Amino acid sequence: MEAIEWIKFLAGALLLLLGTTIFIFEMIGVFRFKYVLNRMHAAAMGDTLGIGACILGLIIMNGMNLTSLKLFVVIIFLWFSSPVSSHLIARLEVTTDEEQDKHYRRLILSQVEESCERNNCEEKNRKQESREQSNCEEKCRVQAAEKEEVK
């Protein structure tokens, strides 16, 4: 029975350590990135995964009881609320950003379609040229083979 307690303790401690490590990487990302949306992405992803790992470690250490169920409900709540709140804050940043051209560019659908059509035409031309080149090479091989047969 004592071995099972040690296994539960080690598994919980590893998950707590994993969650703490994720939080450290999250803080590095928040301080290292310059643009607010990049910082927010690092924070949101780190919070969701880090809190989930830490609370899961606590659930394993605590065993299966009512407290573990409450901790699991907290994980579910955080997994739903953190992405939603991050998305709303990101939309607010995008709509109120005064330097939009500096941070990102807007795509106009007609320009994207024209660009795709142009790329498709260029790709078709390249394929056609490579087919013509391979056909030409094949003809040269056939002619060389015919010359050798004549000799």
Are 77 and 133 in a shared domain?
no
Are 49 and 33 in a shared domain?
yes
Are 119 and 102 in a shared domain?
no
- Chain centroid to CA 11: 27
- Chain centroid to CA 8: 32
Are 91 and 134 in a shared domain?
no
Are 102 and 65 in a shared domain?
yes
For the chain, how many structural domains are there in total?
A: 2
Are 78 and 90 in a shared domain?
yes
Residue 133, domain extent: 108-151
Residues 20 and 76: their CA atoms lie apart, in Å, by 19
| pLDDT per residue as tens, the chain (151 positions) | 688 899 999 999 999 999 999 999 999 988 998 888 888 888 888 888 999 999 999 999 998 899 999 999 999 998 888 888 888 888 888 788 777 667 666 667 777 677 777 777 767 667 776 766 666 666 666 666 666 666 5
Are 93 and 136 in a shared domain?
no
| The pLDDT of residue 146 | 66
| The pLDDT of residue 76 | 92
| The pLDDT of residue 17 | 96
| The pLDDT of residue 43 | 87
Are 76 and 16 in a shared domain?
yes
Are 96 and 123 in a shared domain?
no
Look at residue 97 and give its three-state secondary structure. coil
Are 58 and 94 in a shared domain?
yes
Q: Which residues contact 65 (CB under 8 A, 6 or more apart)?
A: none
| The pLDDT of residue 110 | 73
